[in-house]
Amino acid sequence: MRKPSKLSEVAKLAGVSPITASRAIRGVGYVSEATRARIMEAAATLHYTPDMLARRMRGDKSNLIGVFVNNYGSVILHEIIRTISDHARARGYDLIIFNAERFAGPGRMGTSEMLSKLCDGLLLVLPSCGDEYLDVVNECRFPCVLMNFEAQDMNVPVITVENRIGARTATGHLLSLGHRRIAFIAGNPGTGQSAERYRGYCEALAAAGIEPDPALVVQGAFNQTSGYAATEQLMALPNPPSAIFAANDEMAFGAMDALKSRGLSVPGDVSVIGFDDIPTSSYVFPKLTTMRPPYDAMSERAVTEVIALIQGAEIKPAKIRYSLELVMRDSTAPPART
């Protein structure tokens, strides 16, 4: 295997000093166009690539934003990262995506530290409160922004949605249709968003004079399979619900699958509402009623915030919340007469 070429070798081949070669390759300081072209040709001939980490340690910018995600896989993560990429690229930045169950886990902390040094700033998307790396973020206070996180207070900006108000709106929609036995399928507790959505659900019921029934609250895992299993449990109750509010769209899809497998109609027998408005929501049958976050605007704000921190803005706590829109489609209707 060929050893990487050194900057001194590039300089020697181009007939210049190592300092001049460094300036040309880094794009810093004056170098004539003819000399720059000769240096770049020498670098290409020798297959020279600069040491990005060494450049960062000297204070150079990498024009990279690290996007850290715990367990990449959910559809909503695809949508968020796609929009982040669009806005970062428009500002002259590229992304490095790091996916791990825990960023501070065994064998991962070294990678996390290396990437945080290589990148100009970090975006943590849907991080889990069980990851000790959040303590590192709080203590070290480097350019970092979190997206969609409610589980604990942070010393850096957090971009999120009005989870509690959105859930109150979703539950209120079902109440306005005449439903009184409304179930809630919760998601994983890691980001804290499911807990906020549960609070909004309870607030809407309380405002309608309805005491929340613990039997109508079932734990899911923010995926379609768990939504199916939760609905099977709900429909096995002696007095099953007439409507289901799933804490995200994927669990709502699972709920609709479970109801159909029992020969029940959505929304004729049971109404279903989700949360997130992922693209599939308007293509399933029936089309899903859900809560729509402005993810494009949120991603743009997250990129803007992290670039401001990269450029020297003060790192301080901020909770930036965005409102959601109720998107009424075909999966909700008044309860069936009995």
Q: Are strands 157-161 and 318-322 parallel, antiparallel or unpaired?
A: parallel
Are the C-beta atoms of residues 79 and 295 closer than 8 Å to each other? Answer: yes
Model confidence at 307, in pLDDT bands (50, 70, 90)? very high
User: Rounded distance, CA 294 to CA 205, Å?
Assistant: 26
Domains, the chain, with CATH or none: 7-50 (no CATH), 64-161+295-322 (3.40.50.2300), 163-293 (3.40.50.2300)
Which letter does DSSP use for residue 249 in this model?
Answer: H
Are the C-beta atoms of residues 247 and 197 closer than 8 Å to each other? Answer: yes
Model confidence at 50, in pLDDT bands (50, 70, 90)? low
Tens-digit pLDDT profile for residues 80-111: 999 999 999 999 999 999 988 888 877 778 88
Model confidence at 1, in pLDDT bands (50, 70, 90)? very low
Question: CA Rg, the chain, in Å?
Answer: 25
- Both tokens assigned to 87: 């806005």
- Burial tier of 138 (Cβ tally within 10 Å: 0-12, 13-18, 19+): middle
pTM reported for the whole predicted model: 0.83
User: Rounded distance, CA 79 to CA 266, Å?
Assistant: 27
* Better pLDDT: 3 or 150: 150
Conformation bin of residue 222: beta by default, left when phi > 0, alpha when psi is -120 to 50? left
> Is pLDDT above 50 for 299?
yes
User: Rounded distance, CA 141 to CA 145, Å?
Assistant: 10
Mean pLDDT computed over 150-167: 96
Highest mean pLDDT among 16-30, 53-67, 196-210: 196-210
Tens-digit pLDDT profile for residues 231-242: 999 999 999 999
Conformation bin of residue 29: beta by default, left when phi > 0, alpha when psi is -120 to 50? left
Indicate the residue type of 299: S
User: Rounded distance, CA 37 to CA 35, Å?
Assistant: 5
Model confidence at 8, in pLDDT bands (50, 70, 90)? confident
The pLDDT assigned to 31 comes to 84
Mean pLDDT computed over 146-175: 97
The pLDDT assigned to 297 comes to 97
Which range has the worst mean pLDDT, 48-62, 173-187, 208-222, 266-280? 48-62
* Better pLDDT: 39 or 54: 39
Angle CA(138)–CA(144)–CA(146) in degrees, nearest 5?
85
Are the C-beta atoms of residues 272 and 244 closer than 8 Å to each other? Answer: yes
